[in-house]
Amino acid sequence: MKPRRKNDFYETPPVFMNILLEDIGNYVKGKILECCNGDGAISNVLKKKGYDVVTNDIERDADTDYDATQDALWRWYSGNVSWVISNPPFKSAPTIVKKAYHTAQHGVAMLLRLSFLEPCQNRGDFLSHHPPNLIVLPRHSFTGDGGVDSVTCAWFYWIKSQDDLLIANRFITKDQLKNKGIN
């Protein structure tokens, strides 16, 4: 088994962002926080499409450099971001997702392993009160060497209103990805 990369850094393919925006693009308005920006894979796609984006990352160049698991980041952006869209480190995802949900005014979208749906102690209560919309993606080599993780990933997203707006769940096949230009 290969060791995980430092800070669980695995870059998001631009096509995954395009798939997400097909579903939620009409809902995404206002300032977007990319809280685990990395090399900017998500924020660059959003900026190219004209969205207003602020970035945060603990070790790469970004607008702010807070640890997304700590309250300081969320206090800094509290009341100032409409959306949080990110691909957080999986080991920190339960904490980051909950903080993002409580900070974002209109919605949250996170690229996570599908196993995030498991109602574990660190997320079960949150998921039972805020069930996500899903876009399930086929397994992808985030390492670039053709190897894939043991669990596929999905976009988990929440559109906030009086109650979370549940739109639909969608499943993307490998053939659909090929048609969008990714192998």
Sequence ranges of the domains in the chain: 6-179
The matching CATH number, chosen from 3.30.70.1450, 3.40.50.150, 3.10.129.10, 3.30.365.10, for 6-179 is: 3.40.50.150
Tell me the mean pLDDT in the region 60-73. Answer: 89
pLDDT category at 78 given cuts 50, 70, 90 is very high
d(CA 180, CA 163): 33
pLDDT category at 50 given cuts 50, 70, 90 is very high
**CA 88, 16, 136 angle in degrees (round to 5)?**
80
pTM of the model: 0.85
What single-letter amino acid sits at 47? K
d(CA 171, CA 178): 14
pLDDT category at 5 given cuts 50, 70, 90 is very low
* pLDDT at 161 (0 to 100): 74
